[in-house]
A and B are shown apart, each in its own frame.
Chain A
């Protein structure tokens, strides 16, 4: 097929498919009203089901629920601010063996997020304690893109409550590209 190729690096990347993208993570705090309020004010989202307990009780939710798009927020790693720019924005120094490392080493140092697909199984309520697992869903063959040659890496994060019930999922896809190959024909 034009614009893509199977190669030695791609074969090595195959070993990561179906494996975790990162370690399992536990939310540092349960879903809580102060963080909901912070979000609601930051985005000026005045949907009353997020903060107005009396009103929310009259809706099908039966009480306050967290804004669904906060799903990722609850489990974000606690950042180490010192040195965060030098780490390229990574919240901490932990390295996990995932397909990004061999791609970076091979010169595919550029990163572009291309797709996000959030699925909400149920809305979260204050007190929900989340944890997550990740899995590499797929890695494309090498593609020629407007940014240069690269590989699309897709992973799925599964969010669960304290009982282990799935509350939501996110599929995330990035392009790892080699900026030096921009305009290359193969």
Chain B
């Protein structure tokens, strides 16, 4: 489970314009339900297809806590275990529904040195065939290399 630090970029190696390794999540009912219950969100729209459709949604859909969790994972899978997420600011769009893979992409938009940290601002996007599920900004810090 523990990963070597060698796989993660040092703050000095990160530059504006760098792309994060893309990540594709195969969204299934299990993925949606697992996230909803782990986040203690029992809203039927996140586990009951008939209920969700009755409310006008195309299918049961991922809850926002899970979306934020996957955005966080997407960023720290790249930045490594010393990374600290300071902000996840997203605009919510198309629902994440079963059968539609969610594709995460990200780019370093800004980088600045603070006291003993490097502050990195990322432009992130998670999209499926319906359109943009979540777009926005993640601010993450790394210890100065």
* Residues of A participating in the B interface, judged by any CB pair closer than 8 Å: 35, 38-39, 41-49, 51-52, 55-56, 59-61, 67-70, 72-73, 76, 79, 81, 84-85, 89, 91, 113-120, 123
Contact = CB atoms under 8 A, between A and B. Distances in A.
A155 to B, nearest CB: 14
A85 B44 contact: yes
A46 B76 CA distance: 9
A171 to B, nearest CB: 8
A79 B41 CA distance: 8
Given A47-B73, A115-B89, 20 more contacts: A39-B38, A39-B69, A43-B69, A45-B76, A46-B3, A47-B77, A48-B1, A55-B2, A70-B69, A76-B41, A81-B42, A85-B51, A114-B91, A115-B92, A116-B64, A116-B88, A116-B90, A116-B92, A120-B87, A123-B84
A45 B42 CA distance: 21
A48 B83 CA distance: 12
Contact of A48 (B3, B43, B84): B3
B72 A89 contact: no
A117 B39 contact: no
B87 A114 contact: no
B92 A114 contact: yes
B38 A84 contact: no
B49 to A, nearest CB: 12
16 contacts: A39-B38, A48-B2, A49-B81, A51-B1, A55-B2, A69-B85, A79-B40, A79-B42, A81-B42, A84-B44, A85-B51, A91-B42, A116-B64, A116-B92, A117-B88, A119-B87
A55 B81 CA distance: 9
B116 to A, nearest CB: 9
A68 B41 contact: no
B39 A73 contact: yes
B101 interface: no
